[in-house]
Amino acid sequence: MTEKINLLNLDREALAVFFAGHGEQRFRADQLSQWIHQFGVIDFDKMTNMSKPLRSRLKGCAEIRFPEMVREELSKDGTRKWLFRLDDGNVIETVFIPEGVRGTLCISSQAGCILDCTFCATARQGFSRNLTTAEIVAQLWMANRFLAGFGRRVRVVSNVVMMGMGEPLYNYRNVLPALRVFMDDFAYGLSSRRVTLSTAGVVPHILKLVDDCDISLAISLHASNDELRNKLVPINRRFPLAELLAACKKYTYAKARRVVTMEYVMLDGMNDQPQHAKELSRLLEGLPVKINLIPFNPFKGISYRCSDSHTIRRFRAMLKAAGLVATIRKTRGQDIEAACGQLAGEVRNRSMRFNEVQVAVS
């Protein structure tokens, strides 16, 4: 018996190819995409603008399948965290952050993380596998439905950030179609400025994004020189700062000088001293960037401490004095371990780690 195809794996172009294989015109892809992503309908029999024979064929060869929601946690500040169990038993985490009229969804791209950043709880989990496009898109579909009620045509999530578990650019072939679904007017219709991808610095795929997808880019920088970044973000040994910033510069100019967000976690005594602020100012001079200073969020078994508020404000003041735009991120969801760097999930295979020789950019 042929395995059914999960239609959440297909962006609208891939859906058009799918329908062409069944002798149908490409407008069927538009219709199906609207049913799934805008109306939240996953029962083929309820897709009434499609013929009964077509609906019958769809039921025989296709499905719309989601991970299982195993737990929801609500923070005192309104942040929500969902744990989703995948078919293979891995559990990933997705976070919703409400802020006035904005609703930001933080989406995972891997079960665990293939990188080994020393201050991140996800990195402690090891790496099991990349998520499929369906598992990535499902996080947005399910969040909208849990927040608004199943069956209602409403999009509660206004912004998507690929900042959850995993390094999205090491899952490029599955993340890219998911991004296209997020921005498709026949799906979620999010503008490119409302979809942000955060990467630790996979330079070849930052350059590929120039041609493949127009989104907002964030870089997990966290250090002002290569020696320090090698310790905090080991991928820097493969793609050092000069290469990374050159790729960022190319991306910003290709996207009409789109500003890149530089994320910088504040670690007490590690990267928060005046000399680091001066180095960072020189490093980013002339680049269209804004710097997001992130108070470190502790988790069990970690020795790092967060910089105190005075140190963080002093650091920001020095950056601003150098002409850079710098903000301090408000910590959200810390009481449910949903804040930046705290996502862990439940990863079945904890043995895999980033290896410069074995890991191919894919």
Q: Residue 185, SS3?
A: coil
For the record, the structure tokens of 198 come out as 């955060």
106 is catalytic: no
- Beta strand pairing status for 289-295 and 325-328? parallel
Find, among 264, 255, 305, the residue nearest to 283 by Cα: 264
Find, among 359, 298, 344, 340, the residue nearest to 114 by Cα: 359
340 is catalytic: yes
Q: Residue 210, SS3?
A: helix
- Beta strand pairing status for 91-99 and 80-85? antiparallel
For the record, the structure tokens of 199 come out as 């990467």
The DSSP call for residue 361 is: -
Which single residue is written with the structure tokens 């969804």?
105
Q: What is the Cα–Cα distance from 326 to 171, expressed in whole angstroms?
A: 30
CA distance readout (Å), 156 to 104, 147, 190: 9, 7, 11
Q: Residue 197, SS3?
A: strand
The DSSP call for residue 307 is: P
24, 93, 135, 167: the catalytic one is 93
**For the chain, how far is it from start to end, CA to CA, in angstroms?**
30
Please name every residue paired with 80 in a beta bridge, in sequence order, or none if there are none: 74, 96
Find, among 65, 81, 63, the residue nearest to 147 by Cα: 81
106, 120, 248, 340: the catalytic one is 340
Residues involved in catalysis: 93, 340
